[in-house]
Amino acid sequence: MNAVPHLSWYLALSAVLFTIGVVGVIIKRNVISMFMCIELMLNAVNLTFVAFSSYFRDVTGQLFVFIVMTVAAAEAAVGLGIIITIFRNRESLDVDDANILKL
């Protein structure tokens, strides 16, 4: 029987995914890409939750995952709505074009 992967594997994967998300949000200009990176971060966190849930034999972590997924769905709907509106107004998906909220 194969050994169950150690917890640190999951955590490492999660950290990698999260870092990719963070870096993506910072360096990407395309708003859709940024959005996807945010989703990536959320799912990295979800992975952590599930890993710990399995590790501690506690179902609470999985419950949190469901909540996060719900929020993520809602956020996706709202976020895409905003993106569509920005695109209609600016004919562009570059976030640096949406910069009037300053000075």
Footprint of other proteins (CB under 8 A)? 22, 25-29, 34, 95-96, 98-103
Residue 62 or 92 with smaller CB distance to other proteins: 92
Q: State how far the alpha carbon of 36 is from the alpha carbons of 8, 33, 43, 94, in Å.
A: 25, 5, 11, 14
Instruction: Give least dist CB 90 to other proteins, A.
Output: 13
Instruction: Give least dist CB 12 to other proteins, A.
Output: 17
Counted residue by residue, the chain has a size of 103
As a whole number of angstroms, the distance between CA 98 and CA 39 comes to 21
Instruction: Give least dist CB 64 to other proteins, A.
Output: 19
